Every structure is written in C-alpha cells, then in structure tokens.
Structure 1
C-alpha cells in the first residue's frame, strides 16, 4: 500500500520559508550598510553642491530608520547584539504566556458551540463527501492511485488487520450469539408456510418433487440388499423353503422402481398429486395450525441450542474470516474495486438525496458541536502544552520562519521612509527656515 507523507518545500536542503526570510534579512541589512557607506561618502561633499546635502540627509535618516526598525524586529526574537536589554527577546522570554494566550484565543473564538454550529450550518458536508466519492478515479502522472483508491486500499488493509487482531473464537461466538438472538426472535413457521405456497403457485415445487423421487430411487438402489433381507425375514417359512421370498423381494423392488419412474415422468401421476396435497396442507398448517407452529418453534430452539451447530458455525465463521483476510490483501481479488463501486454509489446517493444530506449534515453538526463542548478544553490545552514544550530556539525559528520575511520588509520600509523624512527635513531647514 502506497504511503505518502507531506513535508514542507525545501530550498538547498532548508525549508523554503526559512530560506526566503534569511535572504530578505540579508537584503535589509545590505540596504542599511549601503546607507552607511553613502553617508560617509557624501559627508565631505555637502559643501560642494546642494544636491549632496539632500543625499547625505537621506542616507543619515535612512540609517537611523533602518537601525531603529532593526532593533525593533530583532528584539522580538532575541537580544540585539547579545545584550540583555530589558523588553527584548520578547517571544522566547514570554513563550509560556504566548501559549496560554493563543490557546485561550482559540477556545473563545473557534471552539465555542455557537461558533462551530454557525460555521457548520453553512456547510453541506454530505454533498461535498458525495462529490468526492462519486468522482471518477484518476491516476497521477507517476501512475500512483488517486485519493479515493488509496482510501479503499487502506480500508481493505485495515479490515484485514482488524480481523487478524481480534480473537477469532471470541468474535465467532459473538457473531453466533447475535445470529442466534435474531433467529430466536424470528417466527419461521409462517415464513416457511408462505414460501411453500408461493413456490407451489409458481410451480417451483416440481423440481423439488423430482429431486425427492430421484433421491428415493437412489436410496432404494443403494440399500437393495438390506431391503431383500428385511423381506426375507418377514415372509413365512414355507415361502423361504420354496425360494419364493427372492421372487417376492424382486417383485417388490421392481414395483417400487416402476412407481418412482412413473411419478418422475408423469406430471399428473396420482402419487405426485398426493405429495402436492401434503405440501399444500403443510404450508397451511405452518401458517395457521398452533400445534404445527409450536413443534417448528421447538425444533428451532433445539437446533439453536445444539452444541454441534455451534461447532459447525465456528468452522464456517473461521473460513469466512480467512477468506476475507485473503481477499483484502490480494490486489487481484476485486475487493478494492467492489469497495470503490460501493463508495461511488454512496456518493451518488449523497449528491441526489436531499433528505439524506439533511440527516448527515445534522449529525455532523451535532457531532462537531459535541466535540467542541466536551473536548474543547483538551484541544486548547494540547496547543498550549505543545508550545510550552518548545525551547526558545524552536519557537523563535518557527515564528521567524512564518513571518520573518514580512518583518524584514518593515526594516526595508523603515530605511526608505526614514531617508525620505530626512531629505524632507533637510529641505525645510535649508529652504524654508
């Protein structure tokens, strides 16, 4: 079974977000260094031409703005220049408080029953699931299975593992007990009577009679010597002394064979009619005769309580279990395709049956509200404890990797805005004052 694990994109062996933040940090630092070089280079040229005054003022203010924003951004994650300045390294120093605040924010704004119910009320979970399940299976460019095929393959493997992990004797006994309980509640006599009547109306009982006649003929043939011995013992001694017993037994057997043959080939034979009358009476008695129904019910109870039936069912269940395990693990068995077809049919039903959608959506909404109500505190506690377990280096790296690139834009903007402000102040002080 194919397994895939998602992992962050990497660039030169590092997460892409971390690498991009690092490159942006070098860009902001390079701009600050460029402003410092420009300030030094133009300091001696201020008196030679007014333009150099504007350039020098731009570079000076840009340095101040860039340094101020560098200090502010750096103070979020670490001590600037390693100096333990108060109110710096804010995130590492306050990670426990941040964890609690984050968890509380999540609890109050996302995991309240009202918020969950409101969000779920606008979602048609059943229809979305139906569209996914009913979608035609596709293969990726590398020939791998689509998501639905992976689900069915995983479900088949899960079924095999569950069947292997459970105690076969205990599971078989539980299934047998369940079937026995359902069978004990079922009144089988009227059901059997209606089946007999329905079969006779449609003439489906004729093959059953033919089979019974053939079985009787084969039984007589297999036990012919036994029948001859019985006839020999029943006839008078004079007949045995004269040897007529053999003639009588042969005549009796020939007569039985002839009778069965006539019944088999003649659909209007009187004996066949008698059998049909007996079947019709049996069907009526099974439905309406209390004594017959009571006898059938007693036979059913005896059959259920018979230890031999329990042993037989144990063997049947074990064969079923082993067969299911083999089919689940055999890609050629077709179980995966059967499960995909079942999922597709379920998906179509979810898309088309609005009443089913409403029931499933209501169940999903109530389930999620119940989860938020019962386990909301555990969820936010998990978030809080997970963040608290991170060391200072880990939480700094993760937060800086997530937002560090945008924070470096603050440094770049601070450098540019500071330079523009400095150039504006230079213009005001030299031209207007």
Structure 2
C-alpha cells in the first residue's frame, strides 16, 4: 500500500491548530444558544425573552443540523451507524475514479493540450531564449557540470574493458590486406605513386648531398680498407693518405648516385620507374586476390594486436580520453563549453530568423506531444486512481479535512446565525398574525 503519510499534517501543523480553534468556536456558539434558550424559558418567555427563545432555539437547531452535515462528510456522527454518513471514506474508490477521469478529460485531453502548445509557439520562444548570450552561456555551463558528474559516475574499469573489447574486436575483424590494396590503388590512380617516388628520390638526394653523410661514408671506407688490406693501405699511405682517397671515393660515389637520381627524376620512362610501376601494380593485385599474401598480412596484424605494448596502449585510451575531457571541462574557458555555447546561440539565432525551421520544429514537438499524451493518458489516470485507492481512509479524511475543514466550519457558524434569524422571522409571523 502506498504510504500517504507525507500528505497528512503534523500535530503542530498551523492548519490543524486553526481548524481546532474553528471547531471550538462553533461548539461554543452552540452552547451559547442552548444557554440562551434555557435562560429565556427560565424567565417565563415573557416579552423579549420570547424573542430570545425563538432565536436561540432555531439557532441551536441550525447549528446541530450543520454540525451533523459537516461531520457526516468525514465520519459517522457520534459513531452511530447512520445511513449516508462518512461519505468521503465510504466513497473513496468512487472519488478516486471520478477525480482520475476528471483529470484525464480536462487536463490531459490531446486536443486541448495541443492547441495550447500551438499558441505557446515553443520554437520561437526557444529561439529567443537561446539567442541571448547569457542564456546559452548558462546552458553550456550546466552541460559542462552534467558532463563532469557523468565522468565521475562512470565505472572506469568497466569502460576500459569495454573500450578494449571494442577496439581490439574491430582491429581483429579489419581486413588489413584489402584495405592496404585499396589504399595503394588510390595512390596509383592519376600517377600519384610517381609523385610519391619523386618526393622520395629528392629526399634521398638531399640526404646523399649531406657533408656529414659523406664524411661518415669516407670514414667507413677507410676503416674497412685498413682492416681488410692493412699492408696495402700502409704502402698506399706512403704515396697518398688513405683518408684523402676515402674522401674522394665518397664524393665520387655520392655524385654518381645523385646523377642517377637526377636521371630518374627527369626521365618519365626510366627503367627504375617502370620496375617500380610494375612492382606496385602487381602488389596491389596480390593484396586484393592472393590468399597467401592476405594470410601473411593478417598474421602480421594479429601479432601486432597481441603485442603487450599495443594492448597496454588500448587499455590506456580511456585514461587519456578521461583526463583530456576533465582537464578541458574544468577550465572556465573550456573548448568544448565554448563550442557548445556558440552552437546553442547559433541555433537560437537560426530559429529566430528562419520561419521554416520554426514551423518544422513546432510540427515535430506537436507530433511528439500528441504521441506522448496519448500514451500517458491512461497511465496517469490509472496512477491517480490507484494511488488514491491505496491511501488509508483515516489519513485521507485527515488530508481533506485539513484542506477544507476550516471553511466547512463556517457552515456551522452560518447555520447558527441563519437558523436564529429564521426563528425570529417565524416568531414574528406568529406574533403579528395572531395565530
């Protein structure tokens, strides 16, 4: 059973204190009328006492009748099993169903809600609100706060495992040979591979023309010659230093290589270019169609994936992403926050300018609202009815009496006064008509 205790007033609830005072006042007024009635009879009902008796008698009857009516709404008067009393607790289920239907038909009627939504024009209001820099900045700041909270709530160990499974799974299912064939096929289109070869040859040429490289090549030649032919090199040294010969040989080798590179660069049909073209074209075909080559590429890929360094890198991806996101979101001038702020403001300005965009958004909102209202109507109706039916009867009576009981006590005051006045009118009719 749903606990409605939060709906009931506490003993110190000011409404309860005011209700108690109203009840005591109405009861005191009834006692006063009874006392006046008794006093007027004790005085023999002569002169003005007869008028007082008529007023007090009718007022007491009116007070007791209204007391009965008010009490009968919530409980049985004096605990007696009088029919048609304790109306609220006896009719709790019927009241719950009636209230639920009333809310459904008057507050959740799709036509009424949609008409109010159309008049409200949410797209225009949203655009005006978002186009204000202060509003878009506030909303972006709230989004940053939510994002930071979301980062804190995430189970980082689970996220790491999920990312590792996803990345490794995607890599394992990746057709590396086919992709390599496609990439190389793109590179060979329109002679791009020849441009790539030209760039590589130019870099090699700059490398060969580097004095430091020539010096290292000369030293290598001298060291090798002295190790392999020590006596001959000793004899040569008498004629000319071996180091000079090494420098000269290194210079000549570099010049020969540069000359050959220049020849390749300036000759479109050079044999080296043709060999390169033939090899690359054949390799692309093999990557696409040779099962053995595809198997070897796949084996290399799997070995790379299984390498501990690669696995550690994949596991550490979330730490890097998490740290980067947090570092950015915590800054007052967050890049993500500023981008979101600009995007929200741009959306607002677009909504203000573009009638077609506003109409489209309003149409989507209206359609979504209609669908949501239709789905929720019966659910909300059942929820209201079942919630009220699950309340304890005494607590329901307490809730309603605290809400309207003080106003109902005025009925007792009014009944006392109106009853007394009617008593005076009836007494006057009797006196002046001679009955």
TM above 0.5, yes or no, is yes
The reply to whether residue 155 of structure 1 matches residue 155 of structure 2 is no
Distance 1:407 1:185, change over 3 A: farther
Residue in 1 aligned with 2:17? 23
Cα distance in 1 for partners of 2:232, 2:47 equals 157
| Kept in 2: contact 1:163–1:321 (CA 8 A) | no
Of structures 1 and 2, the larger Rg is shown by 2
Secondary structure in structure 1 of the residue aligned to 2:82? coil
1:32-431 matches, cutoff 5 A: 32-43=26-37, 44-45=39-40, 47=45, 50=48, 60-111=57-108, 113-129=110-126, 149=141, 152-162=144-154, 164=156, 166-174=158-166, 213=206, 220=213, 228=221, 247=244, 249-251=246-248, 253=250, 306-307=301-302, 318-326=315-323, 333-334=330-331, 337=334, 340-354=337-351, 355-401=356-402, 404=403, 406-430=404-428
Q: Deviations over 1:239-285 (max 9, x none)?
A: 8786688655534555789999x9xxxxxxx96x959x9xxxx9xxx
CA 103–188 in structure 1, closer or farther in 2 if over 3 Å, else same: farther
SS of 2:13's partner is helix
Per-residue deviation, 1:157: 1.3
Q: In structure 2, what is the equivalent of residue 286 of structure 1? A: none
Once the two structures are overlaid, the 10-residue window that deviates more, 212-221 or 347-356, is: 212-221
Question: How far apart are the structure 2 equivalents of 1:222 and 1:168?
Answer: 51
Cα distance in 1 between the residues matched to 2:365 and 2:399: 34
Deviation (angstroms), 1:107: 4.0
Aligned mates of 1:218, 1:152 — CA distance in 2: 56
CA distance in 1 between counterparts of 2:91 and 2:212 reads: 93
Corresponding residue SS for 1:86: coil
Q: 1:190 to 1:81 in 2, by over 3 A?
A: farther
Q: Structure 1, unaligned stretches of length 5 or more?
A: 1-7, 139-145, 201-205, 263-269, 283-288
Instruction: Please give the alpha-carbon distance, in whole angstroms, between the structure 1 residues aligned to 2:82 and 2:61.
Output: 19
Q: Deviations over 1:88-147 (max 9, x none)?
A: 333333333433443444444444554544343334444555566666779xxxxxxx88
Q: How far apart are 1:347 and its partner, in Å?
A: 3.7
Q: Return the structure number with greater helix share.
A: 2
Size of the alignment, in residue pairs?
A: 391
Q: TM-score, normalised by structure 2?
A: 0.61
Q: Distance in 2 between matches of 1:225 and 1:376?
A: 92
Gaps of 5+ in 2: 1-5, 274-279
Match of 1:88, SS state, is coil
Query: How far apart, in 2, do the equivalents of 1:418 and 1:76 lie?
Result: 19
Q: CA RMSD in A?
A: 6.0
